[in-house]
Amino acid sequence: MDVAELLARRHCVKAFDAERKIPEETMAKLREALRLSASSVNTQPWHVVVAAGAAGKERMARAASGPYAYNAPKILAASHVVALCARRDLDSAALEAVLAQEGRDGRFPRPGDAERQRASRESYVALHRDELQDLPHWMGKQVYLQLGTLLLAAAALEVDACPMEGFDPDVLSRELGLEAKGLRPVVMVALGYRSAEDWNAALPKSRLSAETVFTFLD
Amino acid sequence: MDVAELLARRHCVKAFDAERKIPEETMAKLREALRLSASSVNTQPWHVVVAAGAAGKERMARAASGPYAYNAPKILAASHVVALCARRDLDSAALEAVLAQEGRDGRFPRPGDAERQRASRESYVALHRDELQDLPHWMGKQVYLQLGTLLLAAAALEVDACPMEGFDPDVLSRELGLEAKGLRPVVMVALGYRSAEDWNAALPKSRLSAETVFTFLD
């Protein structure tokens, strides 16, 4: 696979073919891409709600109303819609759950490994909680890292995607009971296959030039 | 390429082989992956500094001192190091530059297309600048999206990577003159090939279970 070519070809799909479903085998790979995404000091401060059926997509589409109504048809016609959520807090229970998983997975073969990992991760969390005071944004950034992973994974699997910030997070949160689960929605992604009405498929991709984007040091 | 397998195999490399350089053809693809990354309403609020030689990497390594000294050897031994930066502001000049590029690239075939695109993008920028008051974090999130794109692209190209938040952004900013260019550093990524000293290569990857990460709606 030529990743540059894949990225040049992918685009934000504006209309989905409501008749085409993503095969479960492909969805399983996309879920693994989400689950295996990197995150800062492996915090994984995320949760993903997956809607496959009409009822689930209708619930998600309720958050795309008012100024965001243009996103509702995409949510309803897509094969699957994922709501990428961030944790509302990274408390010690969450951090201990990650540490315990790392232990079960065999990442602490030497004495003191777990304690060193705990201390390293806690120092980054403390930096964001206490000094920079941007812990929710830092967790949100991990979700965008996960989003970047998903978009390239979808392109590699020939699945079309439309990432959407255009929804009311409070409505989605209420609809999916996210606050009670300690979560807040960050971004939604409609996944499926474009229809003939996808006007963006015919338009060329546009990006700033390499001269604008890069500076080279000797 | 099986993206799930690629992600399962990649890991944050802890020691690079200082003798192995990434071929220019591969670096060109990684730069294209960075440049072609998606971003919210195509804002592309980023800039990337690329260091390939010893002098450039030494300048970058100056930001990895004190509590972050553990990252300096990676920066110095890696084949290439990229500093992913976010804009300090998304002013109208930046937005007009994106719009002009989209026009040159042929994305506005119909009358009114450019004006609609300008209004749509400005409404999102205004939401973050005025209402949510998180414009710098919103731009930082786009850089994390770009980071997710880069990490999977590197894995696909069999390039090892180590993303690093552990550096002093003020030192890096001074060293590279970023503030004068309207930029702030967000994350550094060392790229190259692992050495025999990469202790993380021998450890299994650890992630939270699918049961923890996903909720399914009917």
- Do the beta carbons of residue A205 and residue A8 sit within 8 Å? yes
CATH number at residue A155: 3.40.109.10
User: Quick check: B50 and A98 CB within 8 A?
Assistant: no
A102 in a structural domain: no
B107 in a structural domain: no
Total domains in chain B come to: 1
Residue B218, pLDDT above cutoff 90: no
Sequence length of chain A is 218
- Please give the Cα distance from A60 to A19 (Å, whole number): 19
Nearest CA-CA partner of B146 in A213, A98, A28, A196: A213
B112 in a structural domain: no
Residue B162, classed as helix, strand or coil, is strand
Tell me chain A's radius of gyration from C-alpha atoms.
19
User: Quick check: A148 and B153 CB within 8 A?
Assistant: no
What is the full DSSP assignment across B47-74?
EEEEE-SHHHHHHHHTTS-GGGGGGHHH
**Nearest-CA distance from B109 to chain A in Å?**
9
Max CA pair span of chain B: 60
**Model's pTM, two decimal places?**
0.98
Helix axis angle for B24-36 and B135-156, nearest 10°, is 140
Mean pLDDT (whole number) for A88-110? 98
Angular region, A66: left φ>0, alpha ψ -120 to 50, beta rest? left
Q: Is A169 on the interface with B (CB under 8 A)?
A: no
pLDDT at residue A68 in the model = 96
A103 in a structural domain: no
Pairing, β A214-217 against β B214-217: unpaired
- Do the beta carbons of residue B50 and residue A217 sit within 8 Å? yes
Could you tell me which residues come within 8 angstroms of residue B190 by beta carbon, excluding any fewer than 6 positions away? B13, B16, B74, B75, B78, B80, B81, B161, B162, B164
pLDDT tens digit string along B119-169? 999 999 999 999 999 999 999 999 999 999 999 999 999 999 999 999 999
Residue percentage of chain B with pLDDT more than 90: 99
Q: Is B112 on the interface with A (CB under 8 A)?
A: no
Q: For residue A65, give its domain range.
A: 3-89+135-213
Could you tell me which residues come within 8 angstroms of residue A93 by beta carbon, excluding any fewer than 6 positions away? none
Nearest CA-CA partner of A186 in A146, A133, A134, A156: A146
pLDDT band for position A218 (cuts 50, 70, 90): confident
B68 in a structural domain: yes
pLDDT band for position B1 (cuts 50, 70, 90): low
Give me the interface pTM, i.e. the ipTM.
Answer: 0.98
B74 included as an active-site residue: yes
Average pLDDT, chain B: 97
B95 in a structural domain: no
Number of helices and strands in chain B (H, E): 9, 5
- Please give the Cα distance from B133 to B126 (Å, whole number): 9
Q: Which two tokens stand for residue A83?
A: 């709501």
B77 in a structural domain: yes
Mean pLDDT (whole number) for B180-201? 97
Q: Is B96 on the interface with A (CB under 8 A)?
A: no
Could you tell me which residues come within 8 angstroms of residue B111 by beta carbon, excluding any fewer than 6 positions away? none
pLDDT at residue A37 in the model = 98
Q: Which of B165, B179, B197, B205 is catalytic?
A: B165
pLDDT at residue A120 in the model = 96
A145 in a structural domain: yes
